[in-house]
Chains A and B, each alone.
Chain A
Amino acid sequence: DAKTTQPNSMESNEEEPVHLPCNHSTISGTDYIHWYRQLPSQGPEYVIHGLTSNVNNRMASLAIAEDRKSSTLILHRATLRDAAVYYCIPGGYNNNDMRFGAGTRLTVKP
């Protein structure tokens, strides 16, 4: 399993963009980069995933470095509901047992 490094915590102001970084320098060539989040007292929730190209969906954008050794989850306008622990998880498409790390705890201030 690829090792990941994420900041333990980050803070953001409401309505401002948030960039959550993740280093995954040992990622294999076929691993996807998955992002999940866990709101307080809830189960993990899928956010986005990508392989090489940047990805956008209704929740967030994912920017993947050209060498794929790092990626950044972008929340374009943070809301109070976005306060959660965000996990970056490299993994194969057909091997979906997600191996969660410690993640980044995002605090959103009003």
Chain B
Amino acid sequence: EPEVTQTPSHQVTQMGQEVILRCVPISNHLYFYWYRQILGQKVEFLVSFYNNEISEKSEIFDDQFSVERPDGSNFTLKIRSTKLEDSAMYFCATPGGLGVGNEQFFGPGTRLTVL
């Protein structure tokens, strides 16, 4: 089964600091997605990214968030000035095939703790 990896597994930061979460998706895939899950709550869609552009974003994905593909193999989610309420698990995901398919593979997540 294809594997999506995320780093770090756990990030602790002070409120107001910038954090960058990294995702290495299934090789050569142009699509990826970011989700978050606040402890005890449902998984929430943040943003979808295709071929170096944001294709869709939710109301959660405000100006504090940005996504990039700094090189050919990994994607990042940046939070510019973290708030306490940004504490959550952040998951990235990519479709299983080269196109847009129904099966998404999720990474193991990064636990972000904002103090």
A residues lining the B interface (CB < 8 Å): 32, 34, 36, 38, 42-46, 49, 87, 93-103
Do A96 and B100 touch across chains, with their CB atoms under 8 A apart?
A: yes
B residues lining the A interface (CB < 8 Å): 31, 33, 35, 42-45, 48, 56, 58, 89, 91, 93, 95-96, 100-109
CA distance in complex: A44, B36 (Å): 11
Look across to chain B and name the residue whose beta carbon is closest to the beta carbon of A96.
B100
Do B106 and A44 touch across chains, with their CB atoms under 8 A apart?
A: yes
Distance in Å from the Cβ of B12 to the closest Cβ of chain A?
A: 18
By secondary structure, the B interface counts as strand
Give which listed residue, B42, B45, B102, contacts A32 with CB less than 8 A. Answer: B102
A43-B91, A43-B109 are contacts. A96–B33 as well, Cβ < 8 Å? yes
For B42, B58, B100, B101, the residue with the greatest tally of chain A CB atoms inside 10 Å of its CB is: B42
Do B44 and A45 touch across chains, with their CB atoms under 8 A apart?
A: no
A-B pairs with beta carbons under 8 Å apart, 15 shown: A32-B102, A38-B43, A43-B108, A44-B35, A44-B91, A44-B106, A46-B104, A46-B105, A49-B103, A94-B100, A96-B33, A96-B102, A97-B45, A97-B48, A101-B42
Look across to chain A and name the residue whose beta carbon is closest to the beta carbon of B99.
A94
Do B108 and A96 touch across chains, with their CB atoms under 8 A apart?
A: no
Residues of B within 8 A of A93 (CB): 100-102
Residues of A within 8 A of B48 (CB): 96-97
Residues of B within 8 A of A38 (CB): 43
CA distance in complex: A101, B105 (Å): 18
Do A46 and B33 touch across chains, with their CB atoms under 8 A apart?
A: no
A43-B106, A43-B109, A46-B105 are contacts. A100–B42 as well, Cβ < 8 Å? yes
Residues of A within 8 A of B96 (CB): 46
Look across to chain B and name the residue whose beta carbon is closest to the beta carbon of A101.
B42
Look across to chain A and name the residue whose beta carbon is closest to the beta carbon of B95.
A96
Do A45 and B106 touch across chains, with their CB atoms under 8 A apart?
A: yes
Distance in Å from the Cβ of A42 to the closest Cβ of chain B?
A: 7
Look across to chain B and name the residue whose beta carbon is closest to the beta carbon of A34.
B102
Do B42 and A103 touch across chains, with their CB atoms under 8 A apart?
A: yes
Look across to chain B and name the residue whose beta carbon is closest to the beta carbon of A44.
B106
Do A96 and B42 touch across chains, with their CB atoms under 8 A apart?
A: no
